[in-house]
Amino acid sequence: MIAMMHDEEWWLHSTPLLAALQQIKQCPTLPDLRGALDDLHASLHTPDHPLHLASDDRDLPPADTVVVVRQGYLRGELEQIATAQTLERARYYLDRLTRALTEERTSTINDLNLNRWKEYTDIQTDSLWHIERRDRSGIHSAGYWGNFVPQIPNQMMRRYTRRGEWVLDTFAGSGTTLIEGQRLGRNVIGIELQPDVAALARRAVEAERAETAVMTEVIEADSTRLDYGELLARYGQRSVQLVLMHPPYFDIIKFSDNQRDLSNAASVEDFLARLGELVARVAPILDRKRYLVLVIGDKYSRGEWVPLGFRAMEMVLQHGFSLKSIVVKNFEETTGKRSQKELWRYRALVGGFYIFKHEYLFILQKT
């Protein structure tokens, strides 16, 4: 299950905190060590204790004098130290915690501090996602048909990009990815075919314009015909580090009368061919070993389940990508079916099929 993170943070002066951990490590016996941990625990839960940074001083704290840590993570680490069965093991855990608070270890594709990996309880690593409700914080809205839940771009950008890197969303819709990019400090270019939807996305982005140096731009264009090299050159860039694709599903929801709209494709084959044109255009501007995420589901037509998602995934593989993961994500109801639950249940019982309750995230790496 994916939940929004509500774990509060402690802002702590690093010098006295590290000194306290060192003193605890010097305790001669386990009972002494546990008593010292109790004292530290009490200090952490006393808001006006000198260990805590005053809220008025949190605007621009020097990075080397302040530790910002989620409360649940630090409590869990201290609990593990306190329940260690030997003094040697407790000191090992103390050394590990000290490293986690003082040293950063990241991969080349994200900012996650692997020394504090336990802190990222909201980062999903399983292949089955159950999202109980969409994030409606700030300007996020579910009012536009077909927009995906903000948790998807949030998870993908945190897993596969670093702050300041560039993300391309080829079907921007109402701007979900751009809003999340602003919040996370990522530069995002979103492509949207429909003028009215592009205007909606621009308004949403402006309404929550973050006080950061990142660039968020909505381009009104046909993503399957753009020259992405020329587009990136406008911003002084040659490449992006993540591509997100959430195409309109063929022949399920009619988004517009524009014949270039993928939802108006003449057939499944036409849909896949045009999606392939898009992948061929974006593949050259995606850095090698970086990721393309395709969010798509299947469809039901003429009494048969059409595995549109897997056919689209196989098409992407033909353009120099390898498949890293398949995530299955729930959705409880769509805008089109929300008022017709009983009708769809009846149709399923009569027709011998099952009602769609899932879609796929195909996570592909450029080879």
Domain covering 128-366, topology: Rossmann fold (3.40.50)
Nearest residue to 279 (alpha-carbon basis) of 174, 362, 179, 178: 362
Confidence band, pLDDT 50/70/90 cuts, at residue 270 = confident
For the chain, give the percent of residues with pLDDT over 90. Answer: 69
* Dihedral, 133, 134, 136, 142 alpha carbons, nearest 10: -120
Cβ within 8 Å of residue 119, ≥6 positions away: 69, 70, 73, 113
Q: How far apart are CA 315 and CA 270, in angstroms?
A: 12
Exposed (0-12), middle (13-18) or buried (19+): which is 201, by Cβ within 10 Å? Answer: buried
Secondary structure letter of residue 60 according to DSSP:
S
| Domain residue spans of the chain | 9-119, 128-366
pLDDT 10s digits, 238-267: 999 999 999 986 555 555 555 566 766 768
Across 228-238, average pLDDT? 97
Specify the pTM.
0.86
Q: How far apart are CA 363 and CA 340, in angstroms?
A: 32
pLDDT at 51 over 60: yes
pLDDT at 121 over 80: yes
What confidence score (pLDDT) does residue 257 get? 58
pLDDT 10s digits, 55-107: 877 776 666 789 999 999 999 999 999 999 999 999 999 999 999 999 999 99
- 150 and 173 in contact (C-beta within 8 Å)? no
- Between 1 and 83, residue with greater pLDDT: 83
By mean pLDDT, which of 6-10, 127-131, 219-223 is the weakest? Answer: 6-10
Distance of CA 101 to the CA centre of its chain: 24
pLDDT 10s digits, 6-27: 569 999 999 999 999 999 999 9
pLDDT at 144 over 50: no
